[in-house]
Amino acid sequence: MTSQKALLWGKSFKTIQFQLLVADSLTIFWGEWLKLRARITQVAATGLISPLIYILAFGLGLGSSIRTGSGITGNYDNYLEFILPGMVALSSMTISFGGTTFSICGERLFSKTFEEMLLVPVNPLALHLGKMLAGVVRGLMTSGSVILAALLFTGNWNFLNPLFVLLLVLNCAVFAGLGVIVGLTVRSLESVGLYNNFVIVPMSFLGATFFDPSPLPVALKCVVYLLPLTYASTGLRAAAYSPLSKFPWYSIPILLVVAIALSLWGAYKFSQQQD
């Protein structure tokens, strides 16, 4: 009888802890949202320029000389259709990472309000999740603009199906989580530029956004599939154009595991932060 009561009490305690974690995460997120909603248009448009340039230069320009079967395989009428899901992945990655990183850097290095957040009596994981959720919203707003462009170019409503949206959210979570960690680590804005140049820019071109990784040599394929953006790009492409039988289901647990791992790392960084 005593052991049953202890078990019930333990389950009740865990439930309360989980509810507190969710509530604290949403509280941190709400603070970020109050700052974010004042410039929704700016955030939505910020990450739209690069994808549109890529769409015009590669999709409509270079893409006119590329035919299905010559380097790309699948149910695509042209190269533009092939790269549009990759542009959605690219825009969500760029803004989820960059917006989150610069937001934390601004609080740490300029406004000096970050110390106040560290004094808030909440779980470090809740701090990370709240910041990450704000990054996810940034990424969704920007990628939503690219999705609108994709609908206008293709008329393919599969860009809004639940599987596509799930992968997009996971991709935003991965790079928003990475942005939190980088924002907590760097000591200057110049350091953010280094991460952008050596991590984000190479991943933009190697993450299967512009090419099909399946025909690559094994060595190069191993490199490409080490990048989380590859799973987002190939998964979004399959969700938009392929039947469920050909969908790479492994992309969902891989992105989820990466997001969870980054969340645990971010929580540790918050618990050790000395700003």
CB 242 within 8 A of CB 163: no
Report pLDDT for 146: 85
Residue of 251, 213, 207 lying closest to 230 (CA atoms)? 207
Cα–Cα dist 182/105, whole Å: 9
Residue 3: per-residue pLDDT? 55
Mean pLDDT by 10 residues, the chain (275 residues): 51 72 86 80 70 73 59 70 88 90 84 75 87 92 85 84 94 95 86 85 88 86 93 93 89 96 91 74
- In sequence order, what are the residues at sequence separation of 6 or more whose Cβ sits closer than 8 angstroms to the Cβ of residue 224? 206, 207, 208, 213, 216, 230
Q: Output the pTM of the full model.
A: 0.87
Contact 159, 88 (CB under 8 A): yes
Ranges of beta strands (E only) in 78-188 are none
Buried b / exposed e over 145-161, threshold 16 CB at 10 Å, is bbbebbeeebeeebbee
Residue 251: per-residue pLDDT? 95
Provide the residue type at 112 as one letter: K
CB atoms within 10 A of CB 169: 17
Q: What is the pLDDT of residue 182?
A: 92
Quote the tokens at residue 244.
């469920």
How many Cβ atoms from other residues are within 10 Å of residue 165's Cβ? 15
Give the pLDDT score at 102.
Answer: 87
Cα angle value 79/44/145 (rounded, 5°): 30
Counting Cα atoms < 13 Å in the Cβ hemisphere of 49 gives: 4
The per-residue pLDDT for 117 is 76
